Amino acid sequence: MSGGENDLYVVGAGYLGKIIGEKWGSKHPEAKMYGETRSYTRHETFMPPGMTHVMRKNREEEGVKCPNVVFCANPGGNKDYAREVFTAMEDVWDGTGMFVFTSSGSVYGEKDGGVVTEDSPIDEAKVNSPLRIAELVTLDGGGCVVRLAGLYSAERGPHSVWLKEKRGKINLVSYKDAASAVVAALQAGINQIKDVDGAPGVKGKVFLAADHSPTTRRKICKVALEHPIYFRRSMPKFTQDATPPEFAVTGARKVYDSSATRRVLGWEPEFPSIEEYFRIELEELEESERRAEEKAAAEKTAALPE
């Protein structure tokens, strides 16, 4: 069952998949969208308006094929992850649009604080990892790969872990910006196929999505602690004498430079740093609270006898 040229199928329609669907639906309101999950658990929470839920076990029965597919299912608990990617390309992609696989910058080998770009060497220990093999399957099949820095939102991300466990990453990208990078890759692929003037070649390419501001764990936790949902947390101890020893932080292991991705895809993160993200988040929260108070006051006034 095929549809319009902008129809989208998201494999692994979780938190990131939901935002991708929202952004794609806003860009292409006429598009049909499908979100696939392996279970019914919280699927309604992650289905944006206009996205039809498909169970993985019912994929063949549904018979949906779309020109544009995003595979953003988590590899955790999947013994044959690369085959799942291959099967998705066979089952739900009709090959006329773009297939985007969301990967992770963790595949890079740099460990001494150096700069990492899209073409930097892969960690030798991860050459045969499920994630890397899934990347190769995607590239060989004519799709593209978007490697993501550490994902975060106010409620999700490294800070929510470090404020409990005191460890994490240093390169970040918000869920919203990760989703917009994926959408940019999808659109670039469509433009390439349509032979739009100036359209970049994205099929078989690797991209890297990260914000402009590699930062420290301490700074990330400091800014997160200003948000009301973390008021009861305390700053972790990021020192050489941290206990247990594996929580000690000795410096950046790698610094992402995604300037080539931004140039090729015409993509810019809305939030150039986690500090900026939380600043805007707090402003929106305060504005929401102010409006709620005004509404409550107006309702109370309206209820008073004349």
3-class secondary structure, 31? coil
| Signed CA dihedral, 73, 78, 82, 84: sign only | negative
Residues of the chain with pLDDT > 90, as a percent, come to 46
Domain boundaries, the chain: 8-163+170-215+254-272
Check residue 284 and give its pLDDT: 73
Encode pLDDT of 54-96 as tens digits.
998 999 888 899 999 999 998 877 779 999 999 999 999 999 9
Give residue 2's pLDDT: 54
Per-residue model confidence as pLDDT tens digits over 256-277? 999 999 999 999 999 888 788 7
Amino acid residing at 225: L
pLDDT tens digit sequence for 283-294: 777 777 778 777
Domain 8-163+170-215+254-272 of CATH type 3.40.50.460: no
* Three-class SS state of 253: coil
The average pLDDT across 11-20 equals 92
Whether the pLDDT of residue 51 is over 60: the answer is yes
Residue 29 has pLDDT above 60, yes or no: yes
Give the global pTM: 0.80
What does the pLDDT look like over 209-252, one tens digit per residue?
Answer: 998 877 766 777 776 666 666 666 666 665 543 433 333 333 34
Q: How many CA atoms lie within 13 A of 50 on its CB side?
A: 19
Tell me the residue ranges of DSSP E strands in the chain: 8-11, 33-37, 51-55, 68-71, 99-104, 114-116, 144-148, 150-152, 172-174, 206-209, 254-256
Residue 146, beta-bridge partner list: 102, 207
| Distant-in-sequence, close-in-space partners of 116: CB < 8 Å, separation ≥ 6 | 105, 108, 110, 208, 254, 255, 256, 257
